[in-house]
Chain A
Amino acid sequence: MIPIKIQCRSISKGTGEGTALVSRDPISFLGNVDPETGIIVDPDHELYGKCIKDTVLVFPSGKGSTVGSYVLYQLKKNGFAPAAMVNLESEPIVAVGAIISDIPLVDRPGIDIYETIKDGDFLKVNGIEGYIEITGNI
């Protein structure tokens, strides 16, 4: 397929790629995610039971405790962090967590990503120039 390029705002530098894991629920990294496994452990969360390791995690925004920034760092150190993240609108917890953990993060995508991106799509995230590329389906 021809890659689809979506302009975004750059929040955390770097580039990353992987298969999309899409959530319409905000994520509180403190509490929703197990830092030892990368698995979403909150039964009420849309991604309950799924592992975020090496994915491009697409979610509207972060929420909850500011300690969530350190949970992202812990996930990275443990090898269970997402390869990159895409937000509708980033807030400080996820933005800071992404920066200290070297996880590329972009937000404010130029089109409706919930229409365009499905679980399993292969995505490239460029956090330096600020765009996403959908390069294929699995």
Chain B
Amino acid sequence: MHLTKEEEKIMQGEYGLTLEKAMEILVALGDIYGADELIPIKSAQVAGVSYKTIGDAGLEWISSLEGKVRVPSILNPAGMDLEKWSEMGISQNFARKQNEIIRAYENLGIRTECTCTPYYLKGFHLNMGDHVAWSESSAVSYANSVIGARTNREGGPSALSAALIGKTANYGFHLDENRVPSVSVNVESDLKGSDYGALGYVAGKLISNRVPLFFLSSKPEPDDLKSLGAAMAASGSVALYHVDGVTPEIGHMHFEMPDENITIEKEQIQEVYDSTSELRSRCDIVAIGCPHCSPGELEEIADLLEGRRLKKELWICVSREVAERYSHIVDMIEESGAKVMCDTCMVVSPASENYECMAVNSGKAFNYVPGMCRLKARYASIEECIEEAGDSN
């Protein structure tokens, strides 16, 4: 890989050990994936935040670093709401360790907002063609597919290295040739709401890590695309997809029709709901907001909750900035007894382990909750999720 003189100096340690290590990581990844050079990035989103996943070793490494990030940088969801953690049933020890991790990142100049939807936040808006180094799989999918920006799925140390250097190695989804679809997916059924998450859950398993081009008879909104992409990144490892007539690179890049063609039938999508329908009314918690809610989704939830008093725990996960910007909607939601959680989600928080069965409307959560949190998961529409949480009266 070609390095500039300045990059060589960083690699030789002239700017200290932290930048030397960061450069060494970027160059090693560049060599592994055959990159020709480093390219500037607009922003970074750093994974490796929840104490549940990185433990003491991760905390120790992050704490050992010095200096400041060069581009706007933000964090993946943490293991708890950084303010309301005790309401979540989080232990004091976990909270102390989680806060130490957040402070260590803050010392590096990283904004301590922990979210899987950075694209809703000021300073993190992207345009088509922007290069970034983001980590969280649904955010990567949204940036690549819905916005047409360019990012690989970064690991924690690689995203942090990119943030500190302000560059990433030029490989993978930064290059035109890797953004070309290799399989087309036809879906004739009418889809709405959580159907897109169910479709993504089914499609991800069939597509694995390829780039699909969807032909849909329904016209998805950005929130629908968010659900579709999040689910495909979880059940498969799809980091970029296109939807004919919808996503921005269609029409700009003039893709040829892929040779391979898959059809997903209505029954396959319905099966995602049906496979867990025996859990109806047997869940002890309902969780919405995977990925974190958009302002529009918050409004929809507030409408559905109006006049209800919930009997069961209902968590709504959202970024702190969106919750603060729409605090009047948050107040309406919480009047029902629902809890609006920031900085975290049902998948990465150990609080989920206190329950036995969770109802979700997210294909991503449905994929991860049983394995990572060890509880049963029921897949249902947002309306059914709200029904599960309690009666109207």
Q: Check A12–B24 contact: CB distance below 8 A.
A: yes
- Stretch of A15-23, A44-52, A70-78, A112-120 contacting B (4+ beta carbons < 8 Å): A70-78
Q: Given contacts A69-B155, A92-B155, is CB(A9)–CB(B31) below 8 Å?
A: yes
The answer, yes or no, to whether A11 is at the interface (CB within 8 Å) is yes
| Min C-beta distance of A126 to chain B, whole Å | 16
Proximity bits, A81-117, B CB within 8 Å = 1, else 0:
0000000001111011001100000000000000000
| Min C-beta distance of B151 to chain A, whole Å | 15
Q: Check B48–A70 contact: CB distance below 8 A.
A: yes
Residue of B with least CB distance to A90: B32
Residues of B within 8 A of A (CB): 21, 24-25, 28-29, 31-32, 47-48, 53-58, 60-61, 155-158
Contact residues in B for A63 (Cβ distance below 8 Å): none
Q: Check A74–B158 contact: CB distance below 8 A.
A: no
Per the bound structure, the CA–CA distance linking A115 and B212 in Å amounts to 41
Per the bound structure, the CA–CA distance linking A71 and B156 in Å amounts to 13
Q: Check A66–B155 contact: CB distance below 8 A.
A: yes
Contact residues in B for A100 (Cβ distance below 8 Å): 21, 25, 61, 157
Contact residues in B for A66 (Cβ distance below 8 Å): 47-48, 155-156
Q: Check A70–B31 contact: CB distance below 8 A.
A: no
Classify the secondary structure of B's interface with A.
Answer: helix
Per the bound structure, the CA–CA distance linking A24 and B292 in Å amounts to 42
Bin chain A's interface residue count: 20 to 34
The answer, yes or no, to whether A60 is at the interface (CB within 8 Å) is no
| Min C-beta distance of B154 to chain A, whole Å | 9
Per the bound structure, the CA–CA distance linking A69 and B55 in Å amounts to 12
Per the bound structure, the CA–CA distance linking A9 and B1 in Å amounts to 13
Q: Check A70–B29 contact: CB distance below 8 A.
A: no
| Min C-beta distance of A97 to chain B, whole Å | 8
Contact residues in A for B158 (Cβ distance below 8 Å): 92, 96
| Min C-beta distance of A46 to chain B, whole Å | 24
8 A–B contacts, CB within 8 A, in A order: A66-B156, A69-B156, A70-B61, A74-B60, A92-B32, A92-B155, A95-B29, A95-B32
Q: Given contacts A66-B155, A69-B155, A70-B48, is CB(A96)–CB(B28) below 8 Å?
A: yes
Proximity bits, A25-67, B CB within 8 Å = 1, else 0:
0000000000100000000000000000000000000000011
Classify the secondary structure of A's interface with B.
Answer: helix
Contact residues in B for A12 (Cβ distance below 8 Å): 24, 28
Q: Check A96–B25 contact: CB distance below 8 A.
A: yes
Contact residues in B for A99 (Cβ distance below 8 Å): 21, 24-25, 28, 157
Contact residues in B for A92 (Cβ distance below 8 Å): 29, 32, 155, 158
Residue of A with least CB distance to B20: A13
Q: Check A73–B29 contact: CB distance below 8 A.
A: no
Contact residues in A for B47 (Cβ distance below 8 Å): 66
Contact residues in B for A90 (Cβ distance below 8 Å): 28, 32
Q: Check B155–A96 contact: CB distance below 8 A.
A: yes
Contact residues in A for B156 (Cβ distance below 8 Å): 66, 69-70
Cross-chain contact of A67 among B29, B32, B53, B56 (Cβ < 8 A): B53
Q: Check B28–A71 contact: CB distance below 8 A.
A: no
Per the bound structure, the CA–CA distance linking A12 and B29 in Å amounts to 11
Interface centre among A66, A77, A90, by most B CB within 10 Å?
A66
| Min C-beta distance of A88 to chain B, whole Å | 12
Per the bound structure, the CA–CA distance linking A116 and B249 in Å amounts to 50
Q: Check A93–B21 contact: CB distance below 8 A.
A: no
Per the bound structure, the CA–CA distance linking A94 and B51 in Å amounts to 21
Contact residues in B for A70 (Cβ distance below 8 Å): 48, 54-55, 57-58, 61, 156
Q: Top 10 A-B pairs ranked by shortest CB distance?
A: A74-B57, A70-B57, A66-B155, A70-B58, A95-B28, A96-B157, A99-B24, A73-B57, A73-B61, A11-B28
| Min C-beta distance of B325 to chain A, whole Å | 32
Q: Given contacts A92-B29, A95-B32, is CB(A77)–CB(B60) below 8 Å?
A: yes
Residue of B with least CB distance to A35: B57
Contact residues in A for B31 (Cβ distance below 8 Å): 9, 11
Contact residues in B for A9 (Cβ distance below 8 Å): 31
Per the bound structure, the CA–CA distance linking A35 and B60 in Å amounts to 14
Further pairs besides A70-B55, A91-B32: 18, Cβ < 8 Å: A12-B24, A13-B24, A66-B48, A67-B58, A70-B48, A70-B61, A73-B57, A73-B58, A74-B55, A74-B56, A74-B60, A90-B28, A92-B155, A96-B155, A99-B21, A99-B24, A99-B28, A100-B61
